[in-house]
Amino acid sequence: MNGPVAIVLKGYPRLSETFIAQEIHALEQRGLDIRLISLRHPTDKRRHPVHDEISAPVNYLPEYLGDEPARVLHGWRAARKKPGFGRALRVWLRDLVRDPTRNRVRRFGQALVLAMELPPDTSQIHAHFMHTPASVARYASMICQVPWSCSAHAKDIWTSPEWEKREKLADCDWLVTCTAVNAEHLAGLALHPEKVLLAYHGLDFGRFACPAHNRPPRDGSDADDPVTLLSVGRAVNKKGFDVLLQALAEIPPGLQWRYIHIGGGEDLETLKRQAADLSLNERISWLGALPQEEVLANYRGADLFVLPCRISANGDRDGLPNVLMEAQSQGLACVSTDVSAIPELIANGVTGILVPPEDRQALAHALAGLIAHPPDRVRLGKAGLENVRAGFGMEAGLDKLAAAFGLEDQD
């Protein structure tokens, strides 16, 4: 690959998308020349260390077209002179008929600016997420007649209409996704299923080294030394934290525990009110979004990790949450649900515990059992650690990505 690759992101940098930053940094280390294109300015006040290690410049497109009308108008005038503009306009108008929203208009406006500002030697456009970023990449690709590709993750797959997924799969050069469940679904929609690649994100074990010390054998009997439960994830419906709070309220009163939640999210205040209604406030710490080194410290200080994922009413769901791999990399026993691709990582009763989604009683029973029996936590934590290090390192997925980007013959 001769020219740079423009990577289109919904927002950059984001604390909740460590896996994307990790991938970008690793591809840079392998020699990929990258330009970052962000559809939104950052809202997080803090950054992960890996963001400071990425050297690629960032171009922020107009988040709303009315914010920079002159820039959008300039993009329109410049794009009209490009040979692929006519096709891109026809495709966008067809999409707009089926999706007559302001967001669809905004995507095309952003694509016009991107097409104008794209370095002339750009060899490829790559979108992270199959919904909005892929639409912008697709329209700009048509205008500039530059190939495009895509990384599909979770919400972007399961909340996008089938017609749009089929047409994007037909237009892109290739698409990579991070779970076998995703890959099977998308390959079934593609005219050329071989375009769909499976590459787990995996972990950089240089950042997630094995824990140096064993955890104390807390068993929930000491009020001064309770068992620490931890969750890391945005406070949104698909994470199932409301079910978790209900389960925590059903744990037998004789067991001593405390719960730590790390993450921001639109439902955070609602969850805090729910915790108050359940009289759980004194046992819960809401830490908000944290940088990676502080998250890692919390993994190492916790006794049990819990993430009760569900499928939301609109179809949104997690793929394979990276936080489960991160927790297991620290020998932390995990409790989750048998949703989406989570069983690709956790074998129930072997490398963790899986309960049905929405089942607060099953969740409470699983948590109570592990709170009271530290040897079970040790067994599951050790098996999970061995499994994640054996099968979920980042290098295997990066090898596939590097090959897709044409880096396989480079030093």
pLDDT tens digit sequence for 333-345: 999 999 999 999 9
Average pLDDT, integer, range 206-233: 94
Backbone angles phi, psi at 153, to 5 degrees: -120, -80
> What's residue 49's pLDDT?
85
User: What are the residue ranges of helices labelled H in 30-179?
Assistant: 49-53, 69-79, 85-98, 102-117, 132-144, 155-158, 162-171
> What's residue 47's pLDDT?
87
Please give the Cα distance from 66 to 7 (Å, whole number). 24
> What's residue 411's pLDDT?
45
Angle between the N-to-C axes of helices 18-29 and 394-404, in degrees from 0 to 180, rounded to the nearest 10: 60
> What's residue 45's pLDDT?
81
pLDDT tens digit sequence for 242-263: 999 999 999 999 999 999 999 9
- On whether the CB atoms of residues 56 and 50 are closer than 8 A, the answer is no
> What's residue 398's pLDDT?
92
Q: Is 409 a residue whose pLDDT tops 60?
A: no
Instruction: Please give the single-letter amino acid code of residue 74.
Output: H
Ordered structural domains, the chain, with CATH: 5-202+393-404 (3.40.50.2000), 227-391 (3.40.50.2000)
Q: What is the DSSP letter of 266?
A: T
Average pLDDT, the chain: 95
Highest mean pLDDT among 4-18, 35-49, 359-373: 359-373
β-pairing verdict for 34-38 and 58-60: parallel
- The whole-model pTM stands at 0.86
Residue with tokens 């912008």: 136
The residue among 41, 39, 48, 52 whose CA lies nearest residue 16 is: 48
- On whether the CB atoms of residues 294 and 221 are closer than 8 A, the answer is no
CA 94 vs CA 100, 109, 406: distances in Å: 10, 15, 33
Backbone angles phi, psi at 18, to 5 degrees: -60, -35
Q: Is 410 a residue whose pLDDT tops 60?
A: no
Average pLDDT, integer, range 124-138: 97
Give the pLDDT band (50/70/90) at residue 18.
confident
pLDDT tens digit sequence for 90-119: 999 999 999 999 999 999 999 999 999 999
The residue among 204, 156, 201, 181 whose CA lies nearest residue 344 is: 181
Instruction: Please give the single-letter amino acid code of residue 368.
Output: A
Q: Is 2 a residue whose pLDDT tops 80?
A: no
Q: What is the DSSP letter of 48?
A: -
DSSP string, 306-361: EE-----TTS---SS-HHHHHHHHTT--EEEES-TTGGGT--BTTTBEEE-TT-HH
User: What tokens does 117 get?
Assistant: 């500002």
Give the pLDDT band (50/70/90) at residue 191.
very high
Q: Is 211 a residue whose pLDDT tops 90?
A: no
